[in-house]
Amino acid sequence: MDAALLRPGAGRTRRGDARERPHGGGRPGGRSRTGPRGLPRGNPHARPGDVADAGQDRGGAAGAAARDPDPPGRALGDAEGHGAVLQEDPLLSPEDRARALRRRRGPLGVRRSAPRRRHPLSGHRCRHAGHHARARGAPRREGPRDAVGPDRTRTDGDGALLSRRQQARVAVLGTGSWGTTFGKILADGGASVTMWARRPEIAAEISRTHRNSDYLPGITLPDGLSATSDLKVALAGASHVFVAVPSQTLRDNLTAIRPLLAPGATVVSLMKGVEKSTGLRMSEVIIESLGIDPGRVAVASGPNLALEIAREQPTAAVISSSRLETAQSVAMLARNGYFRSFVNTDVIGTEFGGVLKNLIAVAIGIVDGVGYGENTKASIITRGLVEMTDFAVARGAKAETLAGLAGLGDLIATCQSPLSRNNTAGRLLGQGYSFQAVVKQMQQTAEGLASVAPVLELAREIGVEMPIVEQVKQVLDGTLDPRDIAPHLTTDSDEPQGERTSDDSEETSGGPLRRTFKRAFDQLRNGRRGALGDRP
Ligand SMILES: NC(=O)C1=CN([C@@H]2O[C@H](COP(=O)(O)OP(=O)(O)OC[C@H]3O[C@@H](n4cnc5c(N)ncnc54)[C@H](O)[C@@H]3O)[C@@H](O)[C@H]2O)C=CC1
Ligand SMILES: O=C(CO)COP(=O)(O)O
């Protein structure tokens, strides 16, 4: 391990005598977690970006092709049945039909039957098209085009019907791991997708080779997706604009987007952060910066680890907008054989769910890095959900949203996956790396690190206690030893606390009543943030 990366021990608060335990790479049990370059293992991503503001792009493509288990052009052969379906489909142009048939015939001309499958996340029956390469031995699934179905319709942002004849033209801004994956979701759902990449070489790779080897090695992107580094080209005529840039860069990007946005276009945030300088959610920044009606803005959230979805593993998400029709039109675009979108109008809860689970995932990473086990992690996840819910509800969210995909669902996925960058950043901290060292070494955006301070400020404004998030902040600041993170705390008091902070602790502390008054007072005082609210 690189000793220079280790956090100096001075300045931390410590309880007990654990100071003597080996730490900073050593783990209870003695198993080394160090990987190549002397860094701990964990995040399998090795790609550009910067953990705190992702303002940098570092090379990471080398070797991606060599690691690729499924190189392009290896599409397995496909079904006669599919061909027949396609030939009968009156909604396909002759070129589309010919292209689809070409793709369905594998290199060896293998033909298979076309079973009908029930989507694992819904009760719908969908026809299999399967025009994508799939892993050997992996179960067959319906193909993206047929998942939409020839008789299906979508609505645009204004509720007008779009049939497959009027293929939606959409833009995705940001070609990192999530932007690229979401572009694939949309293209596999039948949309014509133009992605905007800040770096021309990424745009060129996506358009020419259907690959983004820096961010999604081994993934072949669909035909219906192309990329450009010209924002004007990406936005021209786009009915829906999906934004997946690091949260702290959003406002600057919106300045460039504003004059190029098609009239009436719907703008969808795929991001899970809050703006550090204002504490605003991403949809609020969009509404404020673009000066558009909140009903034209939607957010997407849920347990959505990019690489799993890019591998077409069945996944669900939530699309939320204050205008239900807007959420529905986005959800119709963001659905295919492996991805299903639910809708709600609780933008606050949906957005804060995604922001707050990142902070709990950092805490989980920290205790994982220290070497604590499942009891500690389950305690943090459970207490973390209470913090998330109390905070979000106090900001105007519905509690049920936090119990859904955008809250609990995403919390589970992020806390238990080594694919999560927030979890990985926490693990490095838990292993003894300093915040600066973690920021330097992380290769992709970990929004949680930038969200901690603004979330705590918002929590203080509304009188909500967030002891786990507070402790994450202290670890980031180097004032708390990771070994001392304590999941059970609601206060530093020795007095037993109720498990639910918002009801049964009332008798013991009187806290909720006090908090309710403080909240009401603070909301009056902080009218600006409340005024942008998009309560359901
Ligand atoms: N990766 C995932 O599994 C998921 C990520 N998200 C959210 O999506 C957002 C984007 O994350 P990822 O794509 O994963 O990050 P990433 O780190 O993989 O990619 C970030 C992208 O933004 C670009 N970028 C960096 N600075 C920029 C700037 N100043 N202006 C414009 N572009 C800039 C980078 O070049 C890169 O293309 C984050 O808010 C994240 O929380 C949400 C769900 C899943
Ligand atoms: O939001 C995500 C999964 O839903 C991705 O999490 P990370 O940003 O921690 O990788």
Query: Does residue 512 lie in a domain region?
Result: yes
- Are residues 390 and 421 both part of a single domain? yes
365 Cβ neighbours under 8 A, 6+ residues apart: 42, 420, 422, 423, 424, 425, 426, 427, 428, 429, 430
**215 annotated binding-site participant:** yes
Each of the 536 residues of the chain gets a pLDDT tens digit; together they read: 333 333 333 333 343 333 323 333 333 333 333 333 333 333 333 333 333 333 334 333 323 333 333 333 222 222 222 222 233 333 334 444 444 444 443 333 233 333 444 555 654 433 333 333 333 334 434 333 333 332 344 444 444 444 444 689 999 999 999 999 999 999 999 999 999 999 999 999 999 999 999 999 999 999 999 999 999 999 999 999 999 999 999 999 999 999 999 999 999 999 999 999 999 999 999 999 999 999 999 999 999 999 999 999 999 999 999 999 999 999 999 999 999 999 999 999 999 999 999 999 999 999 999 999 999 999 999 999 999 999 999 999 999 999 999 999 999 999 999 999 999 999 999 999 999 999 998 989 999 999 999 999 999 999 999 999 999 999 999 999 999 987 665 555 677 777 765 554 444 444 444 554 555 555 455 444 433 333 33
Query: Does residue 312 lie in a domain region?
Result: yes
- Are residues 371 and 406 both part of a single domain? yes
Ligand nearest to the CA of 444: 1
Ligand 2 centre distance from Cα of residue 468 (Å): 19
Structural domain that includes position 128? 80-145
CATH number of the domain where residue 525 is located: 1.10.1040.10
Ligand nearest to the CA of 443: 1
335 Cβ neighbours under 8 A, 6+ residues apart: 147, 148, 189, 341
Asked if 126 and 146 count as a contact pair (C-beta separation under 8 A), the reply is yes
At residue 491, the pLDDT reads 56
- Are residues 411 and 516 both part of a single domain? yes
| Protein residue closest via CA to atom 4 of ligand 1 | 178
At residue 124, the pLDDT reads 42
- Are residues 369 and 340 both part of a single domain? no
- Are residues 382 and 507 both part of a single domain? yes
CATH number of the domain where residue 217 is located: 3.40.50.720
Tokens read off for 494: 């020795």
Give the 3-state secondary structure of residue 195: strand
Query: Does residue 75 lie in a domain region?
Result: no
Query: Does residue 175 lie in a domain region?
Result: yes
List pocket residues of ligand 2, CB cut-off 6 Å.
272, 303-305, 358, 361, 410, 413-414, 420-423, 446-447
Ligand 1 centre distance from Cα of residue 304 (Å): 13
DSSP 363-380: HHHHHHHHT--HHHHHHH
Asked if 341 and 331 count as a contact pair (C-beta separation under 8 A), the reply is yes
CA 187, CA 207: separation in Å to the nearest integer?
Answer: 13
Query: Does residue 536 lie in a domain region?
Result: no
Query: What interface predicted TM-score (ipTM) does this complex get?
Result: 0.99
Asked if 529 and 522 count as a contact pair (C-beta separation under 8 A), the reply is no
At residue 5, the pLDDT reads 35
Ligand 2 centre distance from Cα of residue 448 (Å): 9
How many angstroms separate the Cα of 390 from the Cα of each of 71, 255, 393, 395, 399? 47, 34, 5, 9, 8
Catalytic residue annotation: 357
In the DSSP assignment, the letter for residue 407 is: I
Tokens read off for 364: 């989980």
> Which of 172, 177, 181 gets mutated to test ligand 1 (max ligand atoms within 8 A of its CB)?
177
